[in-house]
Amino acid sequence: MTEEKRIDHMKYLPGMDIIDSDMLDQVTAYHNAFNNDDFTEKDVRLALSKEHLDPHDFMALLSTAAAPFLEEMAQKAHLVTRRHFGNNITILTPIYFANYCDNYCIYCGFNSHNKIKRARLTDEELHRECQNIANTGIEEVIMLTGESPKMSDINYIGNAVKIARQYFRVINMEIYPVNVKDYKFLHECGADYVTVFQETYNSDKYETLHLAGHKRIFPYRFYSQERAILGGMRGVGFAALLGLDDYQKDAVATGMHAWLMQRKYPHAEISLSCPRLCPIINNDKINPKDVDERKLTQIICAYRLFMPYASIVVSSRESARYRNAIMKIAATKVSASVCVGIGGHLKDDGSEMGDEQFEITDGRSFDQMYSDIKSMGLQPMTSEYIYL
């Protein structure tokens, strides 16, 4: 496909909901306004002295000027986390139930140009997958597909949610963006949350990474969380894939997107994920911009201090050592018994029906994670929500 034939990444395609909101303009303005060199030690100290941070304080804590204050940020983030979440750490796991994808995203293992083993679970297979996961004790799951409305249409996904609701208390969705009526349908099927990774909030960079498919449409993806709330979802999650572009600007935009949504829809539960770009199958085109563990910790602490009530999810992309440390500081949700391939919980030998999206680092089982969390003096939880 030549550059000239590619669809305009900023223009909606026919059938895509356009909602009345200026949030993209607001978030883009914060993203573009961030200049790392503008912030000084004085700005950081002022931010750390406050009980409630404004956007300027948040950006100061993400700046390089805050790096020497990481220990102080971590100590304060720990206190804020314990004040609002106690010692609770929720354990969840993803269910990858289809990996067909129509998009050409050059950093993703599922992309349509990648020659991988594709699969989609049948109802019977999904029942067995859910049963095997539920048998471990897990009660909260994230349901994920590749982005293919053709191979995983909304009815297939809705049916999968109905199946999963027979086994789990809480259902989070990470699927391709859909319209308000579709989110309403998925909520009626039993979904509680929607998480969407914007990947990068730099629309120019976004265009170079997403070469084909509906995912190429930047504003439609951006407004996914707002459409999900309008569709009745209880909560929404936000993330940038750190390392695709300037990680500080992407962290600023992620935090501001979540913060503005919380102000506009105060009833909505907000969560933040902090994934770093991982190696994938058959790809040597992506060279992640360095986001080391100290930088990642700084981002997570800044998120916590800026949004004290938000859940913070740290995935199995990170090592067991790192996740143990960040749970003591700011994380409130972690995954366990993770398999990022399709049908990985169906077979005793650990093999999968379909290839994985990326490589994980922390492969702990639910039992091991539960035990490790307790040994740190924290309280592992399988669900933080009870339906009456």
Domains and CATH numbers, the chain: 72-381 (3.20.20.70)
Would you say residue 282 has pLDDT above 60?
A: no
Query: In this predicted model, what pLDDT tens digit does every residue of 242-253 receive, in sequence order?
Result: 988 999 999 999
261/120 Cα distance (integer angstroms): 33
Token digits of residue 378: 């924290």
Q: If you count them, how many residues does the chain have?
A: 388
- pLDDT mean over 57-77: 98
**HEC string for the chain:** CCHHHCCCCCCCCCCCCCCCCCHHHHHHHHHHHCCHHHCCHHHHHHHHHCCCCCHHHHHHHHCHHHHHHHHHHHHHHHHHHHHHHCCEEEEEEEEEEECCCCCEECCCCCCCCCCCCCCECCHHHHHHHHHHHHCCCCCEEEEEECCCCCCCCHHHHHHHHHHHHCCCCEEEEECCCCCHHHHHHHHHHCCCEEEEEEECCCHHHHHHHEEECHHHCHHHHHCHHHHHHHCCCCEEEEEECECCCCHHHHHHHHHHHHHHHHHHCCCCEEEEECCECCCCCCCCCCCCCCCCHHHHHHHHHHHHHHCCCCEEEECCCCCHHHHHHHHCCCCCEEECCCCCCECCCCCCCCCCCECCCCCCCCCCCHHHHHHHHHHCCCEEECCCCCCC
Residue 8: which residues within 8 A CB-CB, separation 6 or more?
A: none
- Which pLDDT belongs to residue 128? 94
pTM of the model: 0.92
Q: Which of 266, 275, 269 is nearest to 300 (CA)?
A: 275
Token digits of residue 372: 């490790």
Query: In this predicted model, what pLDDT tens digit does every residue of 169-199 receive, in sequence order?
Result: 999 999 999 999 999 999 999 999 999 999 9
Categorize the per-residue pLDDT at 1 as very low, low, confident or very high, splitting at 50, 70 and 90: very low
Categorize the per-residue pLDDT at 360 as very low, low, confident or very high, splitting at 50, 70 and 90: confident
- Which pLDDT belongs to residue 278? 61
Categorize the per-residue pLDDT at 388 as very low, low, confident or very high, splitting at 50, 70 and 90: low
- Which pLDDT belongs to residue 265? 98
- Which pLDDT belongs to residue 3? 44
Query: In this predicted model, what pLDDT tens digit does every residue of 138-165 receive, in sequence order?
Result: 999 999 988 878 888 999 999 999 999 9
State percent of the chain over pLDDT 90.
73
- Cβ-count burial of 259 within 10 angstroms (0-12 exposed, 13-18 middle, 19+ buried)? buried
Token digits of residue 384: 């933080």
267/54 Cα distance (integer angstroms): 20
- Which pLDDT belongs to residue 217? 92
Categorize the per-residue pLDDT at 357 as very low, low, confident or very high, splitting at 50, 70 and 90: very low
156/9 Cα distance (integer angstroms): 27
Residues 203, 136 contacting (CB under 8 angstroms): no
334/144 Cα distance (integer angstroms): 16
Residues 187, 231 contacting (CB under 8 angstroms): yes
∠ CA 148-152-157, nearest 5°, is 130
182/202 Cα distance (integer angstroms): 27
Query: In this predicted model, what pLDDT tens digit does every residue of 83-130 receive, in sequence order?
Result: 999 999 999 999 988 887 876 666 666 655 556 677 889 999 999 999
Would you say residue 80 has pLDDT above 90?
A: yes
Would you say residue 206 has pLDDT above 50?
A: yes
203/207 Cα distance (integer angstroms): 6
Token digits of residue 193: 């949350």
- pLDDT mean over 194-216: 88
Cα distances from 4 to residues 41, 52, 90, in angstroms, run 47, 48, 47
Look at phi and psi of residue 377 and say left if phi exceeds 0, alpha if psi is from -120 to 50, else beta.
left
Would you say residue 35 has pLDDT above 90?
A: yes
